[in-house]
Amino acid sequence: MNPPSPEVRALIDLAAGQFPPLGTTMTDIAEVRAFFAARPRPAGPPPPVARVTDRDADGVPVRVYEPDAREDAPVVLFCHGGGFVLCDLDSHDAFCRALAGATGATVVSADYRRAPEHPFPAAPEDAYTALRWTASTHPGRRLAVAGDSAGAHLA
């Protein structure tokens, strides 16, 4: 078997840095979240968005990304992934900025409550609350719901 090319080796090394080393045991959720939060972020500034604001959506923290001042822009409620345990508004910030910029839509990213501190049905209840808030604060606009991984399940 041939060794991987330098390009493939670089990709393998990059991926290896995204997860704890084999044999590592982490049982404290705060430790696991800290490990994932400390992973290297892409170099350079985040994708530009005209306005980003943190809001309270009837008890659910959300971050609203507005690519421009269009009052009729469609709206996307986005639920982050992370197995209902990891990730948050910050882990998906660059993605939501890019989504808003690429689509011209206002993106509302929901920071639903995570397990194990908040067991089922906390996450779907928060996603639904964020959806109702998004619809009520952006009346008359087209509305889509999206997510990745666990967030796709909520969507």
Q: Flag whether pLDDT at 11 surpasses 70.
A: no
Would you state the pLDDT for residue 39?
72
The pLDDT, as a whole number, for residue 14 is 62
Give the domain ranges of the chain.
Answer: 6-37, 51-154
Is the per-residue pLDDT at 142 higher than 80?
yes
Phi, psi angle pair for 107, to nearest 5°: -110, 125
If one compares 130 and 19, the residue with the highest pLDDT of the two is: 130
Report the predicted TM-score, pTM, of the whole model to 2 decimal places: 0.82
Distances (CA, A) of 72 to 9, 25, 91, 139: 47, 49, 28, 9
Q: Where are the alpha helices (DSSP H) in 2-55?
A: 6-16, 29-37
User: What tens digit of pLDDT does each residue of 78-113 get?
Assistant: 999 999 999 999 999 999 999 999 999 999 999 999
**In the structure encoding, which two tokens stand for residue 30, read together?**
């705060």
Whether the predicted pLDDT of 48 surpasses 80: yes
Cα gap 19→26, rounded to integer Å: 11
Which CATH fold would you assign to the domain 51-154? Rossmann fold (3.40.50)
